[in-house]
Chain A
Amino acid sequence: GDSVTQMEGPVTLSEEAFLTINCTYTATGYPSLFWYVQYPGEGLQLLLKATKADDKGSNKGFEATYRKETTSFHLEKGSVQVSDSAVYFCALSGWPGNQFYFGTGTSLTVIP
């Protein structure tokens, strides 16, 4: 069945460091891919998404490209800030059933 595998954490980076969180997926059909972020004490909120191969989702300096050939959707940011400290979840939505599958989450801590 459909599934998502993401990089285990926790990840600790210094401010202004480069961030990559790996995410690979297994899916039949043509899923949509998402990154969600959960700040401490809050619910999950959509960070970015991509709905077809080669699409690049971007938001708040974060980017991820839907790579069908490598079944990946890695999250990147060129320069992280303390305020980026959160848990990041990769997810896919199977089409057309709209089932959502989440990765286990990667905790990021950015230190000044």
Chain B
Amino acid sequence: DSGVTQTPKHLITATGQRVTLRCSPRSGDLSVYWYQQSLDQGLQFLIQYYNGEERAKGNILERFSAQQFPDLHSELNLSSLELGDSALYFCASSVGPGVAGELFFGEGSRLTVL
């Protein structure tokens, strides 16, 4: 158990809909990262937050947004969903910048868009 909790584990929805994925980081970790993993692609970095502030942005679509709340949990919002958004979405946490630690991953949220 990594200590990172993601909900829901599985989600099936239709094109055009909007979903929210939730992540609770490991206790004491201030940084949260979101990744997308599709069948034919590797791990795509979406966005990173540190202590409530956006820290870095990767290949995140404009239809996607995220935030980190004061209690450090994070949410990834996916809107106007398309078939191609079907993927595994991982949240990971780390202590934060300035500390050479590793990433701890959640078990992922599997999104299926029909």
Contact = CB atoms under 8 A, between A and B. Distances in A.
A47 B78 CA distance: 31
A44 interface: yes
Q: Which of A99, A100, A103 has the most CB of B within 10 A?
A: A100
Given A96-B98, A104-B42, A105-B42, A45 B33 contact: no
Contact of A100 (B99, B103, B106, B107): B103
Size bracket of the A interface: 20 to 34
Interface string A57-98: 000000000000000000000000000000001010101111
Contacts of B43: 44, 89, 102, 105
Nearest to A49: B102
Interface in B8-48: 31, 33, 42-43, 45, 48
B45 A96 contact: no
B61 interface: no
B56 interface: yes
Contact of B100 (A32, A45, A105): A32
Contact of B56 (A44, A45, A46, A99): A99
A98 B97 contact: yes
Interface of A: 32, 34, 36, 42-46, 49, 51, 89, 91, 93, 95-105
Nearest 5 pairs of A and B residues by beta carbon:
A104-B42, A43-B105, A98-B97, A44-B105, A43-B107
17 contacts: A34-B103, A42-B107, A43-B2, A43-B108, A44-B43, A44-B105, A49-B102, A98-B95, A98-B96, A98-B97, A98-B98, A99-B56, A100-B33, A100-B94, A102-B43, A105-B42, A105-B43
